Every structure is written in C-alpha cells, then in structure tokens.
Amino acid sequence: MTSPLAQEAQSLLARLFPICRSITGEGVRQSLAILSGTAPWQVKEYASGTKVFDWTVPNEWTVRDAWIADESGNRIVDFQQSNLHLVSYSAPVKAKLSFAELDAHLHSLPNLPDAIPYRTSYYKENWGFCLTQKQRDGLDRSASYDVVVDTELKPGSLSLADAVLPGTSGQEFLISTYCCHPSMANDNLSGPVVATLLLKALATRPKLRHSWRFVVLPETIGAITYLAQHQAEMQASAGGFVVTTCGGPGPLGIKRSFLGDHLLDRAVDIAFRDAHIKPVIYPFVPDGSDERQYSSPGFRIPVTTISKDKYYEYLYYHTSLDDLDFVKGEALEKSYDLYLAAIDVIEENRTLRSLTPHCEVQLGRRGLYPQSGGALNQKAGTAGATAIENEVDVISWVMFLADGQHDLISMAERSGCRFQDIVTVAAKLESHGLLEEIPD
C-alpha cells in the first residue's frame, strides 16, 4: 500500500530522472519547470560572467551529441544511451584517436564493473567519457577510435529557483537543495523532490510562525550565486536544512550543523526521538554539500541534513546504479516525514510563562486530575499508567518549566515527553488561563 505522498514523490522523481542536468543549461531549466508545476517555485536567471564573491557565473553548457565509435562506425559509447557517459562541461572535440590517446580521457570503476561513473570538469577546459569497466575492458587496444563531443560553452545564464513563505516571527529559516546532477536518483533528485513536497505542504498552511525560504539551485556555484545576490537576507537567516540524498534503501542519518547543538540540531533530534528512529550521526565537516557555503565565516548559517543513504556512504554514489531501482517513493516519504516533523518542532516551538507560578495548580477542580488519589504513579499494584496519568506527567513538567526561560523544545528535552504532547498540553493549559506566551 503506497501512500499518496509516496506516489507523488515517485512520480515526480520519474519525470525528472531522464533529463541531462549540469550546473547551467536547458536541463536545469526543464527540471525547475517540472518542480514549479508542483509547488510555487520562482525561477531566476543570473547571467554568465556575473561576479559572485570569489567566483564568476560560468558560461552556459549545451550538449548536442557525444560518442565514441569503433573502426566499423559502431557507436560503442553514446551520450544518447546515458547522459553520464559524457564528462560534464566537456569541451568540443572531433578526432580519430589511438587507444592510448583515447584511454587518457576515459573514466571507469574497477570495483563496480557495471556502473558508469559521474565526472565533471567545470573549471578546467577538458573532455572525457565515462563508461563501465566492462565496456573499457572490451576495447581493442590496437584499434583507433572516432571521438565526437558536440558541445558548446557560451554566455547564457545560471538558473535557480526560490520561494519565500512569510511568517510572523521575524525569523527566517532556510530549506536548500541542489539540482545539477544528471540522471542519478538519490544524489541528487531525492533532494529537489522532497524539498518541493515540503514547499507544497508549507505553502498551503494558512499561517506560519516563521518565514521559510526555499531554494533549489546548482550545487556550489548556484549557492554562491544565490548568497552573493541575497547577502543581507541570507546573513539574517536563523538556520536551515540542506536536503540531499534522502531516498536510498539504507540508514537514516543526521549531519550536524557546525554548532552541533543548534535549535535545528535539537529539532531534528526530537523528530527522530519521537519517531523512535535512531539515526546515524555524522558530525559536521566542512565538505559535503552547500553547507560549505552557508557555514562559511561570512555567513555562519547553521544547517543540518537528514539523509537516507548519505552521499559518500553508499556503494552506488555518483554512478549510474543510483537509479530508479535504488530510490523509491516510500523511502522519500520517510525522509519527508522527518523533515516535516523537525520543521513542525521549529514552527510550534514557543516560550510560555506560568500565570500561577507559586506551587502547583489544583488540577482536580479543572478536571485535569484522576479522581482517586494515592494510586497515581504507583508502580506496584496498578495495571500501568492511564492516559490521564500520562497527561498529568506532561502537565507537571510544563508547569514546572514554565518560568519564561524554557521553550517547548527544552521542555521536551528535559522531560523526555513527546514534543507533540508538550504542544497539546501547553495549549490546554493556556486555554485554562494558566500559561501565557512570551513574545519572541
């Protein structure tokens, strides 16, 4: 039984998969157009040559065709078969080459003989082909080969999309993902799919506490371009998520923010705890994805990642085996649920102050206490805690901590109570006039 969300995720993934994306070009534009059909993304273009901090927006890359043919004219490696065959940003070439000359431009994986690897050469003019080890082993070392790379690199623009959902708190959080890899499912289509579904979900809410800025952009150069073009807004960011590699069959994980114990880290921990899932913890390191840019000294935006088969960690990473068999809607939904739970922890977090801070409140006359005393909390002789006993436990914690210095997140952490139970009880106590919210 697949849920509607899982079906929608899988369908979106399948539409995006065949497109040949790179850091610029038509593939990115087509992908952004598909995503914009699902959620309110705003596409933006930045012209080649634009200076963005230490970098420059590159020329736009177009592939018309690329192949290697044997002496009989058979296309033995063909971009039309898989867009991974061509090293991304390859410069044009048309030549007849000896095996040795060709071999210097080939990439394959001896330990995964059926996989085509993914390679790029964005900032160094070069060309190359990726092929399976089996293909490579089958080449005739005494033959010559016709090589055609029919590409073009010329001024154009870098495409990305964003969406800002306004909230009332004055705080803005970030959800960032990237869309520059060709036909691979976990790295990186899982990110845009989950981020787009999160955007769709939040965009339909009548009211948000915080502003949420979503961005989908080419990794590295796209994030740098976006930061350079939105410097003030981004420096004010309260933190966020880099959504990536969250659709594999393997373990769920958390990559920590550079702070390690930021509100974001804590919200994610609560989401996992309350879902009874023990994640693999990846401490912050300054590699990986666009946290490299967001965390840089000039921005210091704490970002965390929820992953399922994190980049670097799975065998098929950056190969043609990271395909539609590897990533399924159900796995994407698991990550989506955890992201949404963490977002909700942040959205529903607030700080309350007791209006009856002296001693306990009398729960009984407000209908909040079991009617027969003496047995509450009794371990021996009872058949286990009842729902109202559990609620009394949550009430005790909330009222004890409601000194205006504990937010609901810290209440959930200290008490061990489920965050949603804390939220529910806090609202009930507020409705009884026992608590008041402290403005952010």
Instruction: For a second copy, give the closer residue by CB, 38 or 296.
Output: 296
Query: What is the Cα–Cα distance from 241 to 205, expressed in whole angstroms?
Result: 20
Instruction: For a second copy, give the closer residue by CB, 195 or 221.
Output: 221
Q: Are 23 and 56 in contact (CB under 8 A)?
A: no
**Least gap, CB of 404 to a second copy (angstroms):** 8
Query: What is the Cα–Cα distance from 71 to 168, expressed in whole angstroms?
Result: 68
Query: What is the Cα–Cα distance from 253 to 242, expressed in whole angstroms?
Result: 13
**Least gap, CB of 381 to a second copy (angstroms):** 4
**Least gap, CB of 90 to a second copy (angstroms):** 11
Q: 353: helix, coil or strand?
A: strand
**Least gap, CB of 49 to a second copy (angstroms):** 15
**Least gap, CB of 112 to a second copy (angstroms):** 6
Query: What is the Cα–Cα distance from 219 to 401, expressed in whole angstroms?
Result: 43
Q: Which amino acid is at 333?
A: E
Q: Quick one: tokens of 176?
A: 């960032």
**Least gap, CB of 230 to a second copy (angstroms):** 12
**Least gap, CB of 114 to a second copy (angstroms):** 12
Exposure string of 141-163, with b = 16+ CB inside 10 Å and e = fewer, is: eeeebbbbbebebeebbbbbbbb
Instruction: For a second copy, give the closer residue by CB, 34 or 376.
Output: 376
Instruction: For a second copy, give the closer residue by CB, 1 or 359.
Output: 359
- φ, ψ of residue 117 to 5 degrees: the values are -75, 165
Q: 307: helix, coil or strand?
A: strand
Helix (H) or strand (E) holding 226: helix 221-229
Helix (H) or strand (E) holding 306: strand 303-308
Instruction: For a second copy, give the closer residue by CB, 181 or 210.
Output: 181
Q: Are 431 and 413 in contact (CB under 8 A)?
A: no
**Least gap, CB of 39 to a second copy (angstroms):** 26
Query: What is the Cα–Cα distance from 420 to 393, expressed in whole angstroms?
Result: 14
Instruction: For a second copy, give the closer residue by CB, 159 or 354.
Output: 354
Q: Are 170 and 163 in contact (CB under 8 A)?
A: no
Query: What is the Cα–Cα distance from 110 to 106, expressed in whole angstroms?
Result: 12
Instruction: For a second copy, give the closer residue by CB, 109 or 252.
Output: 109
Instruction: For a second copy, give the closer residue by CB, 278 or 300.
Output: 300
